[in-house]
Amino acid sequence: MTFSATATVADSKTEKKGIRSVVFASAIGTIIEWYDFLIYGMAAALVFNKLFFPSVDPLLGTLAALGSYAVGFLARPLGGAIFGHYGDRIGRKSILMITLAMMGLGTFLIGLLPTYEQIGIWAPILLVTLRFVQGIGLGGEWGGAAVMVLEHSPRNRRGFYGSLVQVGFPLGLVIATLVFSFVSKMPEEDIMSWGWRVPFLISAVLIVVGMFIRKNVHESPVFEDMKARREIVKSPVIDVILKHPRTFFVAIGLKISEVSWVYMLTVFMVVYATGTLGLPKTLILDAILIAAIVEIVTIPLFGFLSDVIGRRPLYFIGALFTIAFAFPLFWIMEMRTAEAVILTIVFAMSMGHGLMFAPEATYFPELFGANVRYSGASFGFQVAAAIGGGLSPIIATALAGYLGGTAGVSIMLILLASITLFAAFFARETKHEALLK
């Protein structure tokens, strides 16, 4: 009896150690992936319009730079489909090693690119190509990390453990913003000549660390069980679309608002605050940095909350907040004081993004069965990211530039939040469900 009790405690400790290892390995990868992806967005907003897309009209140059930024988002569904397919067929772990390497290589090579002044039209062509590679890598990364954690987690803690994967976003944003804040304090001439390259080149170090940590993680037990029972499907992406269309479109709808909202705050707001409002670059970057630090705390809190009250309520609250705050967001920013800017960005980030982002690494994979889980979670997530994250900063910049105000931007955010609200009505709650086999 004593031996049995001791064995049970030992097994429990081993299980906890195992899930912690998986969470850490998944989170470290997502931190690096998001860092790589986000530094491009910041560079697109601050320097790429001059270095790679010179134009007589500054607005057109900015739109072109943001267009190259959007290419990464448009590539993400392709990455989600490709790596989701192989993740559901050959395993989760091996695909995560490939996506991390792909993302890191694309980022590092961007830091080595010659500019338009040096090689002409080939500069933006190469930039867009590498951005596409980044997008494909990230498209497969998130789904794999989310599924690995979910399939190792106990049922009553899935929301919390999954939210730790999502913390990779604010941590990546903190690192990216700190690096760019340092670069932005350099003389303008140094920034434009070599300083902008630093954030891209140092990603090589992060990738080596991430690969080392991930190589020791065990394959998902759910996948191993599915493989042993020979339940692997031939075309998981096609199965998701044809056999689970409602769930697929619900996932897209749930994602669309928060992804548009966060890139409004981290990309469009940088352009708008520094250009239209005339605020210092350092102020807006500091505001984003503080907001990301706060999300490191609020995202796990919201993940824990999703284990208590469920996943769906967080989407209702988050979407309603976005609808209510879409106009006040810009009204308060126009006060142009440091306190107003920082508090607004911090509050808006956690409530309009973190509240819905936190449960996604758990909720999206829970909606699909094991044999299409990687594909379903990745493809739905990334299609919404392409629409909301890739296109919304461009549309917002065009609306603000050509209409001379932010009313059109606010209306766009309200419409997107309404889609998420609608999707939440049709989504099922998964908090108490066993993982579908």
- Nearest CA among 213, 209, 177, 219 for reference residue 34: 177
Q: Where are the alpha helices (DSSP H) in 47-91?
A: 48-51, 58-89
pLDDT single digits (tens) 125-174:
888 888 888 888 888 888 888 888 888 888 889 999 999 999 988 998 88
CA distance 96 to 218: 12
What domains sit in the chain, N to C, each tagged with a CATH number? Answer: 20-216+229-426 (1.20.1250.20)
Q: 55 pLDDT exceeds 70? A: no
Q: What is the Cα–Cα distance from 20 to 218, expressed in whole angstroms? A: 12
Q: Is the pLDDT of residue 65 over 70?
A: no
CA 433 – CA 404 distance, rounded (Å): 49
Question: Are 429 and 310 spatial neighbours (Cβ–Cβ below 8 Å)?
Answer: yes
What is the per-residue pLDDT for 63? Answer: 63
The pTM score is: 0.83
When pLDDT is averaged across residues 16-27 and rounded to a whole number, the result is 76
In this predicted model, what pLDDT tens digit does every residue of 224-272 receive, in sequence order? Answer: 777 777 767 788 888 888 888 999 999 999 999 999 999 888 878 888 8
> Is the pLDDT confidence value at 434 over 90?
no
pLDDT at 308 over 90: yes
At 120 the pLDDT is 82
Mean pLDDT across 414-434: 93
Counting every residue, how long is the chain?
437
Give the range among 201-205, 350-354, 411-415 with minimum mean pLDDT.
201-205
